[in-house]
Structure 1
Amino acid sequence: MDVTLIASDGRALAAHLYHPYREEGPAVVIAGATGVPQRFYRRFATHLAERGATVLTFDYRGVGGSRHAGGPRHDGATMSEWGSLDLNEAIGHLADRDPDRPIAVVGHSAGGWLLSLAPNAQLVSAALTVGSQNGYWRQWTGRARAARYVQWHVALPAVAGLTGVLPGRYFGGETLPGGVAKDWARWGRRRDFVDGAGALPPERRFAGRLLAVSVPDDPFAPETAVAWLPTLYPRAASEVHTLAGRHRGLGHFGAFRPGAEGLWDAGWAWLRGAARAPSRFPLR
């Protein structure tokens, strides 16, 4: 069912609510990757709903159905607002819908660390992230490190400054407002990434159970960068899990594409357990 979320600043956000036949386990918000529209997660969301989850997907401002009528060049959206306003509203929507039901977040890439900007994160019982990382350029090695340095220090600031947008070809998503690029590049130049430059004070961040999943051949999220995520949520009970080598080929996006149903089932099993009691990720 299509729904419209209204963020606290009045911005309308396109969203979709997936209803299960019988509700079991937590309600789930899917917080997507940078510039990736909610429709990319449709099969994954449907899979969870078929197993009892109420699932909410949404488009950040400037993405998909939440794009500005005048296009990204005329959109003043920032990446900070994706967490502090958009993800925050998605969590609040599920909390208002059923105050007694636990809430879980599945964060893909940026979705995992944008949670640190959302005041409503304290309503979340469990968070499962995939490829959510510290984007500081020194987290990479070799040529990838040099590429990240150029990306954060030169390419994104220059392109956003000259054109007012971030073309999708730079990262594999949709063309985004320039303000998003400026936030992203500013954080990528900092060793602590969002931790000291946008995230809420530690005592106001997510404090439930966290499972940070690393994919072995993810070029956008090295294992060491993913291992940083628990430091962003010091009050959470955290676990970092690197998928076995047999999962090579998933890259940064494959865990949410058809063919990864075994991972989806393992993730749902973990979320159901983590929302009520300690549990371990059941797939090695």
Structure 2
Amino acid sequence: MANFYSTEVEIICVDQYAIAATIYTPQEALKGAILIGPATGIQRQFYASFAAFLAEKGYGVITFDNRGIGGSLIGNVSESDASLQCWGEKDMPAVLEQLKTTFPNTKYHLIGHSAGGQLVGLMHNAKDFTSIFNFASSSGQLKNMNRTYAIKAHFFMNFFIPLSNTLFGHTKSQWLGMGEPLPKVVAQQWREWCNSEGYVKASFGKTVHTHLYDDLSTPSMWVNAADDEIAIDENVEDMLSVFTKINAETLTLSAGDYALDEIGHMKFFSRKSQVLWIHTLNWLEKY
């Protein structure tokens, strides 16, 4: 029998947008509280097994859908004005405030997956995190990828996204196995940032006028997988270069070392990859 319980909640952002979230509450003494920041277009249910594992270990956890995705999509996806930027500036800060309200007087940690770690510098309250543990969070810069995968990535970013947005008013990323359908501006910004150095840095002084990328000195662990063709070492370093004061450690995992067939960009959070989760626990216990 599980020694935690889960609750579905609605979180109201600063602009009154409602975010769908799930809170996992341990029934034993609380060790800390964790915000799981999702990858682009990935619903919170994807992280359910991982969140349950952490709750079993005594951590309060919150998972959520960014606006325009899953349970946080209001109306038709083609009518959503969501952006990557507002996910970092509005959605994630509101979710952190909910986490602090639900689990007061404890330590708060970010576990970011891809975009969920990239966007932390846009959060006005990011300094409330005691630590950051990111998996597959990199700049995703196309020019650094190996040639074979770069062709696929260029097709998706520079052909499929503009064409799909033109034809359908949003990006049908699910057609290519890239998560949920994406609001138009989310996909446009994703395309722009992955075609540039430093990801979100491409928008500094344009649409991003205030941020904490130059201020965060939070202890952070940046984990990637050797078989991930997106979050390669060069792109992790490129993303880290945007955080000018971050206290960062890096770790590259090889599937074979854990008797796994694959880790890639997504499978760290799979129940089948539970052998990898000790890295998360060891990190949390340090901070």
Normalised to the residue count of structure 2, the TM-score between the two structures is 0.89
Question: Number of paired residues?
Answer: 273
Instruction: Report the alpha carbon displacement of residue 203 of structure 1 after superposing the two structures with TM.
Output: 5.9
Aligned residue for 1:161, secondary structure, equals helix
Between the aligned partners of 1:201 and 1:53, the Cα distance in structure 2 is 28
Aligned to 2:68: 62
User: More deviation in 228-237 or 3-12?
Assistant: 228-237
Instruction: Extract unaligned runs of 5+ from structure 1.
Output: 276-284
Identity %: 28
Once the two structures are superposed, the pairs formed by residues 215-226 of structure 1 within 5 Å of their partners are: 215-226=225-236
State the secondary structure of the residue aligned to 1:173: coil
Does residue 169 (structure 1) correspond to residue 150 (structure 2)? The answer is no
Deviation at 1:246, TM superposition (A): 2.2
1:251 aligns with 2:261: no
- Which of 221, 233, 240 is the matching residue for 1:230? 240
In structure 2, the CA distance between the partners of 1:80 and 1:203, relative to structure 1 (3 Å rule), is closer
CA apart distance, 1:118: 1.1
* TM-score normalised according to structure 1 size: 0.89
Q: Tell me the CA shift for residue 151 of structure 1.
A: 3.1
TM-superposed deviation, 1:270: 0.8
Deviation of the 1:141 alpha carbon: 2.0
Q: What is the CA distance between 1:103 and its match in structure 2? A: 0.6
Q: Which residue of 1 aligns with 2:4?
A: none
CA distance, structure 2, for counterparts of residue 161 and residue 145 of structure 1 = 23
2:218 maps to 1:212: no
- 2-structure distance, mates of 1:65, 1:79: 17
Seen in structure 2, the aligned counterparts of structure 1 residues 111 and 17 have a Cα distance that, compared at 3 Å, is same
Counterpart Cα distance in 1 of 2:212 and 2:82: 25
Aligned match of 1:149: 154
Q: Secondary structure at the match of 2:41?
A: coil
Matches within 5 A, 1:26-37: 26-37=32-43
Residue equivalent to 1:4: 10
**Aligned-partner Cα distance in 2 for 1:124–1:86:** 16
Q: Distance in 2 between matches of 1:227 and 1:163?
A: 35
Q: Distance in 2 between matches of 1:99 and 1:19?
A: 12
Q: Which residue of 1 aligns with 2:89?
A: 84
Alignment of structure 1 residues 183-198 onto 2, 5 Å: 183-197=189-203
The letter for the 1-side match of 2:89 is: S
Partner of 1:280: none
Q: Cα RMSD over matched residues?
A: 1.8
